[in-house]
Structure 1
């Protein structure tokens, strides 16, 4: 089931049953904001460790976060839930709301099941919290059918990509998907800023640069120019990006490797219907090509009645068998190097990303402190729906950033 704000009480009732006598002791209550098929994956864990997931899905991000925080206050938290790294996780840790997973991480790293660099994303004050479901690099998905029909080549530079976009506009196809609101309004700001100057991007995330700086204004003007050229889909559309690309209404979608499974849900096949390529630098003089990285944590509430079961499942999910099964189901790259990748497209891109010319940075949604993220999503949505002078929107974000950094 997919749940929105109206279903809040229904989910609260489900999560409130965690550890009750009405549920099997091997049924792990799991609340998620992801649309992935956890019931299917649950069959793998049932066979391997005799634990099944009992998932409740949230489609609305704001309602999901409200429910999770409410469940902590009511001491009726699920045994496992999805969340985000960065400031969102730091906030929960600071309140003692999630279980520590340091022992799990130490064993996983020692066994060669995950890298230290990923561990760093889950480290707060020298300890680890939560564990990854997936670790995904960002790529540009493209519609191979449309590219073939129009005789388009996969671009390797920004100029080549905008030339492709011009051809698509002439053909009546939106070159790029974009969306306003929570959570996706940040996407093109992230791409354009990091692709212009990844250090500028990192400085914005740390408060060492201001959103009103001239370099950031110039990034926004690039975005505005692309908007005025008709490069983007309707940011207010309620039609999912995967449906738009299936119907050949849009040709390219920037996302993490997790999005492969979403394309599968509309019948698009990897290598036949869609492919991927690295997102080129906006600034050709930038010596490295930045690649956004995101990770989907699964967290165990500290006071959950299913705390130990949740930790057991978390440890299993990082293992070779679980990651191989997850990759086979989702079609993405497993973070465990001992696991087997199921998708040839991602095997190729994974090899490409080992080139030292690529550098990796944390996705905006996790990298931006929570108040700044909230303001950004609102202001970027306003910019997309009412494009014009970017400064008022940037001033709105910077006002919140000034308040935040004055206290941190």
Structure 2
């Protein structure tokens, strides 16, 4: 009997030990399979473990495309404790399905409404926060400084100045804007910025959420401004046959002066021979005075699944993700921007300019094909490309988009 009791006691101790060990396991599913993203998440986990040695982190790292297909399945069937995902409307389906945990209390406790202020709206649905953002990158207009100087052009700060600069360039035989729309998405940057500058952030979010008809006069106003550039020939003539990489050599060669694009454009431009002396950056100009300034800034984030087994440690992990220490270290590796306005951006003039611009923005859109559902995004981007080639067909194009909207957002 005594032996039996001893064995039973030992079993109980072992069971308690196993239970304690399991409680300290933190399972993270992510899509950081590229060289820099993989190094960044490994750095993140190492920093977290140094501060939380009692937590055993288990990382399941997937390739990006496979992850997009798998995430809904594992959130439903076998949720990890933390998942990597994207902000804005990309997280909305999981929030609406009850698959993401409300982390509003963490934001309040850690002061994140201040330090992560620029991305707060992108992490908010129904007044609640559903994750923590850790990196983004800016969009804006990259330009040839030397071409501007040669033709006496100052950096435009208003739409009228942008139009005037474009007319000066056209007269000089320089195409104002390089762009390649073969892959469709580069045209969406123009829709985003024109709508954000004319109608503002909330209207743009309502449009991509299907709450506004594409035939609305406010949407027509966006296309009217866009048409001013299209009709003057401000874009490369054959842009519909070019990928975005096919267009930037025209800028390198001096045949085009500007490019509305994400900050990932800088590396290939520099590899092709441009330098900080010849390449500059400015934010998309004001169109309607008084509209609070919002920007396109695709934002990556971490979330806690509603079915997570270890939510206390998951909250500790998200708090660390939000810290300036973690955000500085990760984005130094990624060569992107920390969302925390008390973190440090890498010592690069374009990243520094982007950090200042985004950390003081009133709101951040995620880009049209992230903010709109896939079917609407595809139809929208096809329409934007067509409009840039045939701006006089605007009525037919918008009516077609409205039919798609009514179908997609039933």
TM-score (structure 1 length as normaliser): 0.70
1:325 corresponds to: 329
1:315 corresponds to: 319
Find the aligned partners of 1:203 and 1:42 in 2 and give their Cα distance: 33
Partner SS state of residue 251, structure 1: strand
Pair 1:337-2:341 in alignment: yes
Pair 1:81-2:84 in alignment: yes
Structure 1 window deviating more from structure 2 (337-346 vs 195-204): it is: 195-204
Q: 1:264 aligns with which of 257, 262, 267?
A: 267
Taking structure 1 as reference, are residues 249 and 327 closer, same or farther at Cα in structure 2, changes over 3 Å only?
farther
2:301 corresponds to: 297
8 Å CA contact 1:181, 1:377 repeated in 2: no
Partner SS state of residue 37, structure 1: helix
Spell out, residue by residue over 1:118-152, the C-alpha distance to the aligned partner (whole angstroms, 9 max, x if none): 33432334543222122555432223354355554
Taking structure 1 as reference, are residues 349 and 68 closer, same or farther at Cα in structure 2, changes over 3 Å only?
closer
Spell out, residue by residue over 1:98-133, the C-alpha distance to the aligned partner (whole angstroms, 9 max, x if none): 344345433332695433x63343233454322212
2:92 corresponds to: 90
Partner SS state of residue 166, structure 1: helix
8 Å CA contact 2:87, 2:366 repeated in 1: no
8 Å CA contact 1:383, 1:390 repeated in 2: yes
- 1:189 is displaced (CA, Å) by 1.7
List aligned pairs for 1:4-403, cutoff 5 A: 29-31=29-31, 37-42=36-41, 44-45=43-44, 47-50=46-49, 56-58=62-64, 65-69=68-72, 72=75, 75=78, 80-86=83-89, 88-109=90-111, 113-115=115-117, 118-135=119-136, 138-148=139-149, 151-169=152-170, 170-177=172-179, 179=181, 181=183, 183-198=185-200, 201=204, 204=207, 209-233=212-236, 234-240=239-245, 243-244=248-249, 245-246=251-252, 248=254, 250-255=256-261, 259-260=262-263, 263-264=266-267, 267=270, 271-283=276-288, 286-288=289-291, 290-294=293-297, 295-302=299-306, 313-330=317-334, 332-342=336-346, 343-345=348-350, 347=352, 360=363, 362-363=365-366, 365=368, 367-368=371-372, 372-384=376-388, 387-403=391-407
Spell out, residue by residue over 1:180-213, the C-alpha distance to the aligned partner (whole angstroms, 9 max, x if none): 5564442212222333343764664576643213
- 1:398 is displaced (CA, Å) by 1.5
Aligned-residue RMSD, C-alpha: 4.3
Structure (1 or 2) with the greater helix fraction: 2
TM-score (structure 2 length as normaliser): 0.70
Spell out, residue by residue over 1:385-406, the C-alpha distance to the aligned partner (whole angstroms, 9 max, x if none): 555411222112222334566x
8 Å CA contact 2:85, 2:91 repeated in 1: no
Taking structure 1 as reference, are residues 370 and 260 closer, same or farther at Cα in structure 2, changes over 3 Å only?
closer
8 Å CA contact 2:138, 2:296 repeated in 1: yes
Taking structure 1 as reference, are residues 371 and 275 closer, same or farther at Cα in structure 2, changes over 3 Å only?
same
In structure 1, list runs of 5 or more residues that go unmatched.
1-24
In structure 2, list runs of 5 or more residues that go unmatched.
1-24, 50-56
8 Å CA contact 2:192, 2:296 repeated in 1: no
Partner SS state of residue 216, structure 1: helix
Taking structure 1 as reference, are residues 152 and 110 closer, same or farther at Cα in structure 2, changes over 3 Å only?
closer
Structure 1 window deviating more from structure 2 (73-82 vs 227-236): it is: 73-82
- 1:47 is displaced (CA, Å) by 4.4
Taking structure 1 as reference, are residues 140 and 200 closer, same or farther at Cα in structure 2, changes over 3 Å only?
same
Taking structure 1 as reference, are residues 97 and 287 closer, same or farther at Cα in structure 2, changes over 3 Å only?
closer
1:4 corresponds to: none
8 Å CA contact 2:176, 2:257 repeated in 1: yes
8 Å CA contact 2:140, 2:281 repeated in 1: yes
- 1:376 is displaced (CA, Å) by 1.9
- 1:222 is displaced (CA, Å) by 3.3
Find the aligned partners of 1:168 and 1:52 in 2 and give their Cα distance: 55
Taking structure 1 as reference, are residues 228 and 263 closer, same or farther at Cα in structure 2, changes over 3 Å only?
same
- 1:362 is displaced (CA, Å) by 3.3
Taking structure 1 as reference, are residues 111 and 69 closer, same or farther at Cα in structure 2, changes over 3 Å only?
closer
Taking structure 1 as reference, are residues 249 and 322 closer, same or farther at Cα in structure 2, changes over 3 Å only?
farther
Find the aligned partners of 1:363 and 1:242 in 2 and give their Cα distance: 23
